[in-house]
Amino acid sequence: MRMLPISSRFDGLEMRILRVVFSVAGSLALASSASAQSYPTKPVQIVVPFAPGAADVFIRAMVPALEAELGQPIVIENRPGANGAVAAEAVKRAAPDGYTLLMAPASVLATRYVIKDANFDVCKDFSAVSSIHESPMLLAVYPGLGIKTVVELIEHAKRNPGKMSFGSAGIGSVMHLDAEIFKKESNTDIIHVPYKGAAVFIPDLITGRLDMAFSTLGTLAPQITDNKLTALAVLGKAPLKELPGIPSINDTLPNFQKVATWSTIIAPPGLPDAIRTRLHQATEKVLAREDIRSLFEKNNGMTFSTKSPDEVSKAICAESEFLEKVTKSIGIQPN
């Protein structure tokens, strides 16, 4: 019997192996494609990294319209803790099948820079799906101080170093970081008093136990309108149509760069493109609805964007890089 050369026999074996590999890969690709085309076939869970309340009002308002677009129930699960780390790490570990998502406010990007054991990087460890909204930020003070402008605030703080205080929703929160940037740009010494959420420190600001705070328009506007707080500046573009006449903080501090206040929807790493596109398109349709937009534009001054998933990913990474620089420059150490 004629024997084939050893090299030919191995070549044949390799070809058979390759055929099996390509066959399996093709089957997996077809299965993935079919799964993406039929998505979703069961309820979709959106994890919110904060307790129920102001932080999840908007995403809950989106639910009925999003359910109509996707044809499946949307379940909101609040998983507060460690400045968003508990929720983020849970979603990071979930299957990348589109059934577990994270509503990620920009503040979650700072978590890894302020919490030592935070085992995630939003820039690298997630699949960006959609941007949702951005909320205007304001600087407000206790009216009893008699301060009407940012210049007066800075002068008062310099006359009273270490005696004034500002409240925030916690270490590493947007409110905390904005205030620290303010201190650095104005060369002032103001004490940080962290709270467990914005709603908690507002009463202390109104009564004068705190002197100042940075917070969202939605949180501060009612108190400003009722003259319980004095608004000094808008962070970013001004004026706001909701509170005309309030200048931009950059009029006084040209180099002040605020921390982002947008929120996004992100998913575990490896989310198939077809599912990501399906989710993105559904979210965009919901955000385009006039009833959704007008409700939050009117009451909270929110703005809405139409960034693509890739643009959202780039924005997340850029903001993460900025927050790393900010936390280092103001001396925040992970603990």
Q: What's 65's domain CATH number?
A: 3.40.190.150
If asked whether residues 112 and 131 sit together in one domain, one would say: yes
Residue 216 corresponds to which tokens in the numbers above? 């969202």
CATH at residue 216: 3.40.190.10
| Listed residues 251, 270, 302: the one ending a domain | 251
If asked whether residues 209 and 124 sit together in one domain, one would say: no
If asked whether residues 58 and 95 sit together in one domain, one would say: yes
Q: Single out the residue of 183, 331, 191 nearest to residue 253, CA to CA.
A: 183
Which domain does 317 fall in, by range? 42-135+261-329
The answer to whether residue 32 sits within a structural domain is no
If asked whether residues 146 and 83 sit together in one domain, one would say: no
The answer to whether residue 233 sits within a structural domain is yes
The answer to whether residue 25 sits within a structural domain is no
If asked whether residues 97 and 242 sit together in one domain, one would say: no
Instruction: Work out the burial of residue 30: count CB atoms within 10 Å of its CB; fewer than 13 is exposed, 13-18 middle, 19 or more buried.
Output: exposed
| Listed residues 200, 218, 251: the one ending a domain | 251
If asked whether residues 188 and 322 sit together in one domain, one would say: no
Per-residue model confidence (pLDDT) at position 237: 81
If asked whether residues 47 and 93 sit together in one domain, one would say: yes
The answer to whether residue 256 sits within a structural domain is no
Whole-angstrom Cα distance, residue 330 to residue 27? Answer: 53
Per-residue model confidence (pLDDT) at position 10: 45
If asked whether residues 196 and 282 sit together in one domain, one would say: no
If asked whether residues 245 and 203 sit together in one domain, one would say: yes
Q: Single out the residue of 208, 221, 201, 218 nearest to residue 146, CA to CA.
A: 208
Instruction: Work out the burial of residue 193: count CB atoms within 10 Å of its CB; fewer than 13 is exposed, 13-18 middle, 19 or more buried.
Output: middle
The answer to whether residue 267 sits within a structural domain is yes
If asked whether residues 188 and 226 sit together in one domain, one would say: yes
If asked whether residues 98 and 130 sit together in one domain, one would say: yes
Question: Could you tell me what percentage of the chain is helix, strand and coil, using 3-state DSSP and rounding each to the nearest 5?
Answer: 50, 15, 35
pLDDT by 10s per residue, the chain, length 335? 455 554 554 455 555 554 654 454 454 444 445 456 799 999 999 999 988 877 788 899 999 999 999 999 999 999 988 888 999 999 999 999 999 999 999 889 999 998 888 889 999 999 999 999 888 999 999 999 999 999 999 999 999 999 999 999 888 889 999 999 999 999 999 999 998 877 789 999 999 999 999 999 988 999 999 999 999 999 988 788 888 899 999 999 999 999 999 999 999 999 999 999 999 999 999 999 998 888 777 767 888 877 899 999 999 999 999 999 999 988 888 77
The answer to whether residue 335 sits within a structural domain is no
Helices (H), ranges, 39-95: 57-70, 85-93
The answer to whether residue 230 sits within a structural domain is yes
If asked whether residues 188 and 232 sit together in one domain, one would say: yes
Beta strand ranges found along the chain (DSSP E): 44-48, 74-78, 100-105, 127-134, 137-141, 165-168, 191-194, 212-216, 230-235, 262-267
Tally of domains in the chain = 2
The answer to whether residue 222 sits within a structural domain is yes
| Listed residues 197, 222, 251: the one ending a domain | 251
